[in-house]
Every structure is written in structure tokens, then in C-alpha cells.
A and B are shown apart, each in its own frame.
Chain A
């Protein structure tokens, strides 16, 4: 009985959270389209988001490219299909691995950062101080951050994809004696707009989700300094889950288009 009531309580909390997040999203669109626009703060956030995550995304992308190629090589050799390596790696990185891994890395870095930053601003009354001084804190802090992540994540994905492919090409040039030119020409041969467009659209949604959840958790942070830690932590967990849900929906929709 206690287990059932505990589960019911957790379910209730979950749905309340979904409702609050939906309201937060609606508020973003309502507030975001109205002037004045905080353009300077938006640029600052773009720089912060891009700069903060760039090295991490590049290193992760490069290693993913190396590992994917090294792991796939023996199997492809066994089937006599090692020449298909650029096609396989190219499609898997551009379509799926690049956007998802970049988004997950950024979720850890950016969403937790937003959660902690806005959470501590809430706890130390900085958000109240902003409101008292006549600036809409939602517009200044939340809208600019969500727009920055939405815009910057696709760029980070492009860079991450490029470095991952470079890593893969490096392995192929060492192990398979394939030139960079040949490797990349095979990659571009294999890729079509049908691979690039859904992945890019998906990246915008990933960026939006990262900014949204990080800001939501921080902006409504409670319970003092413990709440700040909790906001940072739950922001990462919630964003990661949401990214996979968005990924599933995106793949499902693009699959329908492929069939058409």
C-alpha cells in the first residue's frame, strides 16, 4: 500500500513538473517576442555557451570518431566491407551520434551551469533585485540563455561532426592507408540532404531543450544552497532524458518522410 501511494505521489510530482515546464515554455514564447530585446546579453550568452563547450565537444567528437572506426574495423574486414567505412561512419555520425553526443556533453556542461547559476541568483535574491530595478529577469536571464543554446548547439554539432570524421579519417589513413581526400570524398558521396536536414533540425530542438530545462530548474530553485545543487543535478538528468525523447520523436518523424 505504501509502495503504491509512494508511486502515485511520484507520478503526481512528475505530471506537475511537466505542467510547470509547459507553462515555462509558453512564457518563453510570450515574453521572448516582445521588445525590448536583450541583444547584448544574448550575444554574451552565445559566447559563453559556445566557448564553454567548444573544447569538450571537439575532444569528445574526435575520440568518438577514433573509437567508432577502430571498433568497426575488424567486423567490416571480416565481411570484406572495409571500403564502406567512410559511408558507415559518415552517416552514423551526421545522422545520430554527432547530434546526440554533442547534446549530451552540452547538457552536462550547460544545463547544469544554468541550473546552478540561476539557482544561486534566486537564492541570493539577485533575481528579485533585477525585478525591482525594472528589468524583466525572465527576459534578461531565461530568454537570452534559451535562444543562445538553440542557436549555438547546431554550430557545435557541425564542429563536433567535422572533428569526429577527422578522427575516423586519421585511423583509416594509419590502418587502411586511405588518403584524407579519398576518405572525405566517400563520406560526402554517402551523405544526402535527407541526412543533414533532419539532423540539423534535431540539433535546434536539442539546444532549446538544454536551455529550457537548465533555466527552468535554476529559475524555480528553492530550499537555499542545497536547492542550487539539486537544480544543477536535476537539470542534467531531466535534460538527458528529454534529449532521448526528442531524438526518438525526430527519428520517428524523419522515418515517415523516408518512407514517403
Chain B
């Protein structure tokens, strides 16, 4: 069952006028006997903040990794910025990836590199996107300034706190000026204050760079603050879709389970 009643959708009609930049249809993925995604559908519109919520192990991260070609789905259609992921060769996929920023759950900073080298790393392959630059420093500095960590340039990731690591990872995600940013559990493992700071940064980055955001989370507070629209991923499908407040008003038990504290 997919809940898309008028009252849940709220003002979703607004999206009809925006351009679709991610389109997922009938996505299936299993690991052995474990069916994780079971015909998942989703659309992300240009400039919007879409939150996908689901319980741990519901396949949120698998879905987001299918979008960037890290995991190959069993079947289904995935189109990102008009390009069908399945049909792209490695070269074309890498070019597409330059337009996507990815904030990983555990930050995924390269332990053996300094903060500066971490940020320079994506630029090695995609210098042409930034106009064949020779000096990467201004870009690194600007990205670090956006997250308020310009003083950490020469530090190693091990010298940073969990919140700082997440912010550096965010700076790395935006260094190539992507059109879309994927956030995989951006606030997990952080204290409430740091989580709030990260959410604030996500909002300011979206304003500054005009990016579209796909946020994977099970943090209700994060979803409330940042989402324009939400999708609830249950049993591998898009179970319900609407605004945060629209979904909150739903009397469906499975939907309500997400909002109970």
C-alpha cells in the first residue's frame, strides 16, 4: 500500500512544476534471501530537500548507494539528472558523480590524509569541472569556511571530534560544487547540539549553492527541520509520501510508528 492521499501530500502539487532530477522506478535489491528493496519508487525535484525515513536495515543506504552506482540493483530504473545509471560506462558514471556530493554515515574521511588532502582528493579527477585549476587552495579554503573549519586544514582526521569530522566531510561533499547532495544519516552518532549544527549547515549550504538534497535518516527531529517532503521506506517500498506534518497527521499505524518517541 502506498499512502498518497490528498491530506498526506499536503502542498505536494507544487512539485509538479519542478524538474525531476532523480527518478527511481521499481527498484529491487536482495542480498541472498534478504529482500531489501522490493519495488521502491521515488522522485527528487530540482532544489528540494527530500527526506527518506526508514528503520535501521530497511534499505535506505542501499537505495542511496544504488543511485551513485556503488551497488548494482537487481532490477528497476534509476535516472539521475536525465542519465540512466545502468547504461553508463565507468567514465560517464565518474563524470556524473562530479555533480553529486555524498556525505557518508561515518564521515568516511581518509585516515592517512590531512584535512586539506581529503578535500583535494575529489579535485584530482575533476579539475576540469572547476576550470582546470592549478591552485586548489582557494577552493579548499572556501569549502572549509562554509563549515567553519578553515583552521583545521593541516590536521589529520584522528585529531578531529566526531562533529568536526562530519563538517569536514560536508566540506568535501561540496568542494566540486555539486548539483545534488546525498546525506546518509547526517546526524547519527552526534550529540543533539552538534546534530543541530550539522542540520543548520546543511540548510545554509543548500541556500548558498542551490543544491537539491536527498537525506536518508531515522532522526525525526532532523526530518522535521530539513524536509520539504518525506518518503517512508517500509518493507522495501515507498510506503507513504508527503510533508512532515501531513504524514504526522496520518492515522496509519506504520506511519505513526515513525513519529512515536
9-residue interface stretch from B101-109, B200-208, B213-221: B101-109
Give the shortest distance, in Å, between B156 (CB) and chain A (any CB): 14
Contact A130–B68 (Cβ < 8 Å): no
- Assess whether A177 is interfacial by the CB under 8 Å rule: no
Which chain A positions have C-beta within 8 A of B70?
Answer: 128, 131-132
Contact A134–B94 (Cβ < 8 Å): yes
B157-210 contacts to A, CB under 8 A, are none
Which chain A positions have C-beta within 8 A of B100?
Answer: 132
- Assess whether B72 is interfacial by the CB under 8 Å rule: no
Contact B108–A126 (Cβ < 8 Å): yes
Which chain A positions have C-beta within 8 A of B102?
Answer: 129, 132
Query: Which of A126, A132, A134 is in CB contact (< 8 Å) with B110?
Result: A126
Instruction: Please encode chain B, from 81 to 119, with 1 for each CB lying within 8 Å of some chain A CB and 0 for all others.
Output: 000000000000011011010101110111110000000
Contact B94–A125 (Cβ < 8 Å): no
Which chain B positions have C-beta within 8 A of A71?
Answer: none
Q: Which residue of chain B has the shortest Cβ distance to A133 in the bound complex?
A: B122
- Assess whether A22 is interfacial by the CB under 8 Å rule: no
Contact A135–B104 (Cβ < 8 Å): no
- Assess whether A92 is interfacial by the CB under 8 Å rule: no
Give the shortest distance, in Å, between B68 (CB) and chain A (any CB): 5
Contact A126–B111 (Cβ < 8 Å): yes
Q: A124-B106, A124-B108, A125-B106 are in contact. Are A130 and B121 (CB under 8 A)?
A: yes
Give the shortest distance, in Å, between A183 (CB) and chain B (any CB): 44
Which chain A positions have C-beta within 8 A of B104?
Answer: 125, 128-129
Interface centre among B68, B108, B126 (most CB of A within 10 A): B108
Contact B108–A133 (Cβ < 8 Å): no
Which chain B positions have C-beta within 8 A of A134?
Answer: 94-95, 97-98, 122, 125-126
Instruction: Please encode chain A, from 110 to 122, with 1 for each CB lying within 8 Å of some chain B CB and 0 for all others.
Output: 0000000100110
Which chain B positions have C-beta within 8 A of A132?
Answer: 68, 70, 97, 100, 102
Q: How long is the Cα–Cα vector from A125 to B97 in the complex, in angstroms?
A: 16
Which chain A positions have C-beta within 8 A of B68?
Answer: 132
**Total number of B residues with any Cβ neighbor in A under 8 Å:** 22
Which chain A positions have C-beta within 8 A of B112?
Answer: 117
Which chain B positions have C-beta within 8 A of A117?
Answer: 112
Instruction: Please encode chain A, from 79 to 114, with 1 for each CB lying within 8 Å of some chain B CB and 0 for all others.
Output: 000000000000000000000000000000000000
Which chain A positions have C-beta within 8 A of B109?
Answer: 126
Q: Which residue of chain A has the shortest Cβ distance to B100 in the bound complex?
A: A132
For chain A, the bracket of interface size reads 10 to 19
Q: How long is the Cα–Cα vector from A130 to B104 in the complex, in angstroms?
A: 11
Q: How long is the Cα–Cα vector from A128 to B106 in the complex, in angstroms?
A: 12
Q: Which residue of chain A has the shortest Cβ distance to B113 in the bound complex?
A: A126
Q: How long is the Cα–Cα vector from A120 to B112 in the complex, in angstroms?
A: 12
Q: How long is the Cα–Cα vector from A124 to B169 in the complex, in angstroms?
A: 13
Contact B97–A128 (Cβ < 8 Å): no
Q: How long is the Cα–Cα vector from A124 to B108 in the complex, in angstroms?
A: 6
Contact A135–B125 (Cβ < 8 Å): yes
Q: A124-B108, A128-B104 are in contact. Are A133 and B125 (CB under 8 A)?
A: yes
Which chain B positions have C-beta within 8 A of A120?
Answer: 111
Give the shortest distance, in Å, between B188 (CB) and chain A (any CB): 13
- Assess whether B65 is interfacial by the CB under 8 Å rule: yes
Give the shortest distance, in Å, between A228 (CB) and chain B (any CB): 12
Which chain B positions have C-beta within 8 A of A125?
Answer: 104-106, 108
Give the shortest distance, in Å, between B203 (CB) and chain A (any CB): 23
Which chain B positions have C-beta within 8 A of A126?
Answer: 108-111
Give the shortest distance, in Å, between B118 (CB) and chain A (any CB): 9
Contact B108–A128 (Cβ < 8 Å): yes
Give the shortest distance, in Å, between B60 (CB) and chain A (any CB): 14
Q: How long is the Cα–Cα vector from A67 to B106 in the complex, in angstroms?
A: 50
A201-240 contacts to B, CB under 8 A, are none
Give the shortest distance, in Å, between A222 (CB) and chain B (any CB): 11
Which chain B positions have C-beta within 8 A of A124?
Answer: 106, 108, 111
Q: How long is the Cα–Cα vector from A134 to B98 in the complex, in angstroms?
A: 7
16 A-B residue pairs with Cβ-Cβ distance under 8 Å, sorted by A, are: A117-B112, A121-B110, A121-B111, A125-B106, A126-B110, A128-B65, A128-B108, A129-B104, A130-B121, A132-B70, A133-B97, A133-B121, A133-B126, A134-B94, A134-B125, A135-B124
A residues bordering B, Cβ < 8 Å? 117, 120-121, 124-126, 128-135
Closest 10 CB pairs of A and B: A134-B125, A133-B122, A129-B108, A134-B94, A125-B108, A125-B104, A132-B102, A126-B108, A124-B106, A128-B70
Other than the given A133-B97, A133-B126, 8 more pairs (CB < 8 A) read A120-B111, A125-B108, A130-B110, A130-B121, A133-B121, A133-B122, A135-B121, A135-B124
